[in-house]
Structures are given as structure tokens and as C-alpha cells.
Amino acid sequence: MRRLGRRQLFALGGGAVLGAGLTGVVPAADPAASSGANDEIDNPKRGGQQVVWSVATERPAAALTFDDGPHHVLTPRVLAVLDRYDVPASFFMMGHCADTHPELVAEVVAAGHEVGNHSWRHLNLADASASETRTEIEVGARKIEAAAGVPVTMFRPPRGRLNEAALRVLAPLRHDVVLWSVTRGALDWRSPAKVAANVVSKTGPGDIVDLHDGIGRWTFDPRTPRAAELLDRRLVELEALPRIIEGIREKGLDLVRVSDLLSSPPALKNQAR
């Protein structure tokens, strides 16, 4: 198995499971390799998408990404900060949220940001059936595209985990699987300064930073204590965002969209760090 930077792509339970926080750019597994009589995927031989944690490039740039939105409280505030600093970003949206708040999806696109698919209902795809996986990916993409008015070409699995069925669904769609190489840090951190310092210290050329403008599965139970706790965590990230942007720029890095990183010269892009 090819080495993927600091950690590895690994297999569990007979299917491919991708662990969050890995680095590198590799071709996705050939979906035809494990096809059988019970396959639910049409035309599984049209692979070619990439699984991306970071991009090995000498270009002084990194990407900010936001998951789980759009959210009526968080997304407008994230957009305001990005606009203030003139920073483009990539938003990996839940299809349900895009369907609920199409006006926010339109605002994201109008501001020059790009959108990706973060599934329909934020199920953990490592535990999902093949039919559930297909629904999460295809319905999510359809709802996001309908609200955005632009094609979706990237997918980020909830929790950074997916199964073999997901790769097989994504192959004919030719969607890149985009994970991340930098996060906020420990989930219990409540200090925006600490979150910002962690992100800035770990971000270098080609890194993909994972932040949030939504609350994931708790979108469906927004009045619960767990949803309130998660919203508070997102608000810490939001408060840290200006310091993150300023700190990354002080390191001499531009902030670009994921697609901009992926457009780096192939000789650099396809090398693991």
C-alpha cells in the first residue's frame, strides 16, 4: 500500500474506510476492482477521481473550508468575515441545509466561493448501507446543485469517513473526495486564541483547513443541549477566524479555494508530502 504522508489509507470490515486528518493526494480505489453480482452501482469502471487531504505544492497557498452548512446564524457571519478579508473559501454543504436555506447557498456562490457536497443528512458513511450511501451522495449533490445553480465536483464525507460503496457511487460522478490536513484542534477548546494559534501553526503550503458553518446531524434537533453545545463550539471557530486568516497571511501564504490548490502543476500536485 502506498504511503500517504504522515498516516495511511486503511481498510476495515472488507471495505475502504478513510480516516480523517491524513495528508496527500492519491487516486481513488478502482471501483471495478471489487465489483460483484450484488453491486448496486451502474457503470463502475469510470473511475479517475482523487482522494485529497492536502496538495503537495511549493505554491505558497492553503485553503479554508467550511462544513455542515448553510446555517442561518453561522453562515452569514462566516461570509462577512471572508468578505472583510477578501478571502475565497470552499463550503461543503449538507443537502438538507442547502434545500432549507437556498438563499444562503446563493449568497455563498455570489461571493465567489465554491460549494461541495457534504452528504444529504450527514450520516456516518462508514456504517451506512450501499443504498443509504447512494442516497446521501446523490440526493445531497442534487439539492446543492439546485440551490447553487452550479455543478458540484467535490465530496467530503461526514466525519471524514466513508465506505467502499461511497467510492463506487462517486466514481461515475467523477467527484474528488476532499478531506483535510488541519483542524481547529481539541474539540473541548473554548478559547478562540488557542484555536487560531493551533490552525496557524499547523498550516503550510498545500494544506486544507477544516472549519464549520453548521452543526451537522444536530440540524435535525436544534433545541437539544447537544445542539447548543455544538453551536457554541462553532461560534468559537467563528471568533477565531479573523486571527486564523491574519496569521496564515503573516506566514506568507495566500488563502484560496480547494479547486485552486488542485490546479497546481501536476508534477507537484501528485507527490505525497
Cite the active site residues: 67, 212
Bridge partners (DSSP) listed for residue 66: 91, 211
Phi, psi of 229 (to 5 degrees): -65, -40
- 61: which strand partners? 254
- Quickly tell me which residue has 489509507 as its cell: 9
Q: From the CB of residue 218, how many other CB atoms can be counted at a distance below 10 Å?
A: 18
Residue 50: helix, strand or coil by DSSP? Answer: strand
Report yes or no: 90 and 114 within 8 Å, Cβ to Cβ.
yes
Cβ contacts of residue 20 below 8 Å, gap of 6+?
A: 159, 160, 161, 179, 180
Buried b (16+ CB within 10 A) or exposed e, 222-232: eeeeebeebbe
